[in-house]
Chain A
């Protein structure tokens, strides 16, 4: 690529959804045709580490043989596979089985200055280097807020947080070097150090010599930004990062991490600022992240529209060229892929929704508790029947592997046509004391809604197994099976109320207070105020 040496993607394989080997091969082949030459697999604990049987246990981790196979395939289509791991925080699943309790500092953070931690990290590098040829590696190191405040503090007393972070970083880089690795890391640690705890700046920071001296000389610095909406910020962040290292990387977002549907339009608007900024500042290494927060519900393939758009920005393609290329590569229309965004556009296609995950929030919103009922700014959900029709039509006409993406979003819109306002309607009828209307609502809408959730479940499961390993779907079984049961349970109670068998439904007597947070990313918080 003219403007980039490395132009890549980062696929999250750690949030329950672990992309299948066949799915990844298909994906590598597709993005390589778009112009990408690098892929990172973000694996917190979802890869085999020799001698560590509990590492990634029951999580669907990649075996070293699978990684080798992926590496070879990627190379054959011109893609460099780079491991993207964590060597400090974000290793929450590691602590599930207690085998690693001894090296847990606090929260999801490894215990610094304990040799057992470095033994484990050594084994991580050793295993990865045996399976994957690239000698670049992303060592993570973001968001370790409470580092040094748990077991570390019990052992050593309170120490300066940055001092221990830097000592750890240097130690990790040293181990990486032993295996011939050139590491890179998320750069926010240094910004927060120089900037009173905050990451983003709108004018370039002047890092003191004291800080720049502490950056390991050969460590690449990755500036990540999935949100910023001003060219000035990208400029300031890139200029600042250059002071930390000669080896600067940019990580943008191709959003698939806020619920079931992607946010391609939002991603495009951000990347339209970010990619030209990279070109302006000579940042020649970039990749686009596909995180999978809270379950990995939205598959990586749903980001293909936004990925094509980012590649077109890098290659300075015209819109027509881009669309023609997309069609040629995927067999699908670019605009159809962008339509996968629709389930969150509750105010109609013309009004942006940021990265709101209304579709997930309203799918799981409890019909009686109605915690999310006030988050939709007066939208009533009637738009969903229009979206459903549109997405069904695309799905029906699709003959590619991507048919499943459209089919599941169509089925989701079918559910939301009823479910979006179900809690609100139930509450209103209850407040009006209209028992007969509640009976009708239960018998018609609740019954139909359960059927539609069942259909969505089946289509969505199909999508999951097309894209991912089977692991992680146990969580979707629990969530969607739970939803069906809850709808049935509420229906039963509405009928009991209409029949006079119970004289009140307590949850419907309690008012709904505004949640003040907009959207909830977490499934459990969407539906209950209790502890799941």
Chain B
């Protein structure tokens, strides 16, 4: 590649959805044809570690054989498969087992530094990785350990400077990695830029004190990640600052699949255009693009193929026509048709972007929010600026048409078409219920219950079926238990609300408490957590 030595994709395998081997192999074929030469599997605890039976237990972890099979297949396509693990924080699913909970955790989801068992675990991890992967590069994670040293560590050792502690741990982990021949990389932003609280990214080139730069292992590469930035200056400043920490700087951008059922190809394309220009300008020759799966891994990794194609095109200076032709040749589907997968979040119509002004200009996940927003509590839907939206009927038809073309990815279009059919009713249901209730229109409520609530249930069933098919096509079966609960819970709740509305219309109950409470304006248009959508209580 002209501009890059490594161009890769990172697939999240740790947020309940664990891509199945067959799906990954197909994905590797496609990305390698697009021009990628690297793939990372982000595995917090979803890989087998010898001598650690509880590590990834019941999570659908990859066995050593599965990883070897994937590694060999990736190599055969010219892809380097790099393990991306966590060696400090983000290990909540490990903490739930007693075997680890009391021994190796400091606070929150953070490992206990200086505890011998912690390093025994890390040693076991590297010993197994060395046996499993042919690549000798590893991503150590090390992001977001905000409270490190403040839990059990503080109880035992007293207060220690957090950054000194982190650097000590970092050196220890790198030493273990080195023993097994691994070259390491880590996320730079959190640890080195967050030192002044609240500073995530800077527009100015930063100088680091010598006690930091001198204590960073010389063979450790720095990964600067930015999935949001709209200003090239910010990318420039962060990349150039990162070079002061290491000779080896990687950039990591986003191909948005997280917190949502449908992808954000358009948003990703917009951000990566700026990011890649900055990489080229600043001589950053290694980059990968992340497909995170926050809060359940609902959106499959194949959904962002257009964003990934677009990145590869930028990396190889392809024209738009070349890019689109290549995409069609590789996937069998036109680039523009594939982009329609973005539609379920575009509640204001196809041409109005859906970026939240409140958090880093994240892309809004309206489809998920409005799917789960409780019809009586309706924390979200009473806050939309628009009363109703008629886009979903049209989206459902368009997506169904693409599904009917019976291509390799029909299942993606089917699931999102079914989701749009649900949202055609569900989007405004909370608001309509509340308006009729406030008007005291009992007959209107009865009709709403008997028609809309009733019609919604088979649509939910249909979405569930198509979505389940999609899940099993691309993922292992693990993790779907969560989707069963969420979607089964939703159907039950709709049924219950329907029954309550009819009781109210019949005069069997004289009020509906939730509908009596006055709604307050919410500014959070980017909530990813299902639990926060369905209740203000503890689910």
> B93 touches which one: A150, A485, A489, A531 (CB < 8 A)?
A531
By CB atoms of chain B within 10 A, which of A158, A479, A485 has the most? A485
| B468-487 interface code vs A (CB 8 A; 1 in, 0 out) | 10000000111111101111
Docked Cα-Cα span, A493 to B517, in Å, equals 42
Which of A135-143, A392-400, A414-422, A507-515 has 4 or more CB atoms under 8 Å from chain B? A507-515
Residues of B within 8 A of A507 (CB): 58, 477-478
Q: Is B209 an interface residue (CB 8 A)?
A: no
Residues of A within 8 A of B538 (CB): 15-16, 92-93, 294-295, 475
Decide if B486 touches A529 in the complex (CB within 8 Å).
no
Q: Is A146 an interface residue (CB 8 A)?
A: yes
Decide if A59 touches B58 in the complex (CB within 8 Å).
no
Residues of B within 8 A of A371 (CB): 58
Residues of A within 8 A of B159 (CB): 158
Docked Cα-Cα span, A29 to B295, in Å, equals 46
A 446-483 contacts with B by CB, 8 A: 457, 461, 469-475, 477-483
Beyond A58-B517, A474-B374, A510-B58, whether A486 also contacts B477 by CB under 8 A is no
Residues of A within 8 A of B530 (CB): 532
A 480-532 contacts with B by CB, 8 A: 480-486, 488-489, 493, 505-507, 510, 513, 515-517, 523-525, 527-532
Decide if B151 touches A146 in the complex (CB within 8 Å).
yes
Docked Cα-Cα span, A515 to B97, in Å, equals 7
Q: Is B3 an interface residue (CB 8 A)?
A: no
Q: Is B177 an interface residue (CB 8 A)?
A: no
Q: Is A102 an interface residue (CB 8 A)?
A: no
Docked Cα-Cα span, A470 to B486, in Å, equals 20
> B484 touches which one: A158, A475, A486 (CB < 8 A)?
A486
> A513 touches which one: B53, B92, B150 (CB < 8 A)?
B53
Residues of B within 8 A of A60 (CB): 513
Residues of B within 8 A of A96 (CB): 532, 536
Decide if A513 touches B54 in the complex (CB within 8 Å).
yes
> B377 touches which one: A58, A488, A529 (CB < 8 A)?
A58
Residues of A within 8 A of B97 (CB): 515, 529
Beyond A506-B478, A530-B478, whether A475 also contacts B488 by CB under 8 A is no
Q: Is A53 an interface residue (CB 8 A)?
A: yes
**Count of chain A residues with a beta carbon within 8 Å of a chain B beta carbon:** 65
**Count of chain B residues with a beta carbon within 8 Å of a chain A beta carbon:** 66
Docked Cα-Cα span, A309 to B517, in Å, equals 40
Which of B178-186, B225-233, B431-439, B489-497 has 4 or more CB atoms under 8 Å from chain A? B489-497
Decide if A470 touches B514 in the complex (CB within 8 Å).
yes
Beyond A149-B150, A368-B481, A530-B482, whether A484 also contacts B379 by CB under 8 A is no
Decide if B531 touches A532 in the complex (CB within 8 Å).
yes
Decide if A481 touches B493 in the complex (CB within 8 Å).
yes
> A482 touches which one: B479, B486, B524 (CB < 8 A)?
B486
Q: Is A227 an interface residue (CB 8 A)?
A: no
Beyond A97-B522, A506-B477, A532-B539, whether A478 also contacts B485 by CB under 8 A is yes
> A479 touches which one: B54, B478, B485, B532 (CB < 8 A)?
B485
Q: Is B16 an interface residue (CB 8 A)?
A: yes
Residues of A within 8 A of B481 (CB): 366, 368-369, 486, 527-528, 530
Q: Is B57 an interface residue (CB 8 A)?
A: yes
Decide if B99 touches A516 in the complex (CB within 8 Å).
yes
Q: Is B98 an interface residue (CB 8 A)?
A: yes
CB nearest neighbor in B for A461: B496
Beyond A58-B379, A477-B496, A516-B98, whether A482 also contacts B484 by CB under 8 A is yes
Decide if B488 touches A150 in the complex (CB within 8 Å).
no
CB nearest neighbor in B for A364: B485
Residues of A within 8 A of B197 (CB): 154
Docked Cα-Cα span, A256 to B464, in Å, equals 36
Beyond A58-B517, A529-B93, whether A474 also contacts B377 by CB under 8 A is yes
Q: Is A98 an interface residue (CB 8 A)?
A: yes
Decide if A485 touches B489 in the complex (CB within 8 Å).
yes
Tell me how far the C-beta of A413 lies from the nearest C-beta in chain B, rounded to whole angstroms: 22
A 289-321 contacts with B by CB, 8 A: 294-295
Tell me how far the C-beta of A125 lies from the nearest C-beta in chain B, rounded to whole angstroms: 23
Tell me how far the C-beta of B37 lies from the nearest C-beta in chain A, rounded to whole angstroms: 31
Q: Is B426 an interface residue (CB 8 A)?
A: no
Decide if B487 touches A485 in the complex (CB within 8 Å).
yes
Docked Cα-Cα span, A361 to B512, in Å, equals 32
> A531 touches which one: B15, B485, B490 (CB < 8 A)?
B15
Decide if B485 touches A485 in the complex (CB within 8 Å).
yes
Q: Is B147 an interface residue (CB 8 A)?
A: yes
Docked Cα-Cα span, A474 to B539, in Å, equals 9
Decide if B60 touches A506 in the complex (CB within 8 Å).
yes
By CB atoms of chain A within 10 A, which of B93, B97, B537 has the most? B537
CB nearest neighbor in B for A106: B147
Q: Is A54 an interface residue (CB 8 A)?
A: yes
Decide if A486 touches B57 in the complex (CB within 8 Å).
no
Tell me how far the C-beta of B325 lies from the nearest C-beta in chain A, rounded to whole angstroms: 38
Residues of B within 8 A of A525 (CB): 96
CB nearest neighbor in B for A516: B98
Tell me how far the C-beta of A153 lies from the nearest C-beta in chain B, rounded to whole angstroms: 7
Decide if A532 touches B491 in the complex (CB within 8 Å).
no
Tell me how far the C-beta of B343 lies from the nearest C-beta in chain A, rounded to whole angstroms: 27
Q: Is A57 an interface residue (CB 8 A)?
A: yes
Task: Show 18 A/B contacts (Cβ-Cβ < 8 Å), sorted by A.
Answer: A58-B536, A149-B107, A153-B150, A474-B537, A475-B537, A483-B485, A485-B487, A486-B484, A486-B485, A507-B477, A507-B478, A513-B54, A516-B98, A528-B58, A528-B481, A529-B59, A529-B96, A530-B16
9 nearest A-B residue pairs (beta carbon): A485-B488, A481-B492, A482-B485, A478-B489, A58-B536, A529-B58, A486-B484, A477-B493, A16-B537
Interface residues, chain B, with chain A CB atoms under 8 Å away: 15-16, 53-54, 57-60, 92-93, 96-99, 107, 147, 150-151, 154, 159, 197, 295-296, 374, 376-377, 379, 464, 468, 476-482, 484-493, 495-496, 500, 512-514, 517, 520, 522-524, 530-532, 534-539
Other CB < 8 Å A-B pairs besides A58-B536, A506-B477, 6 of them? Answer: A93-B536, A149-B154, A482-B484, A482-B486, A485-B492, A513-B57
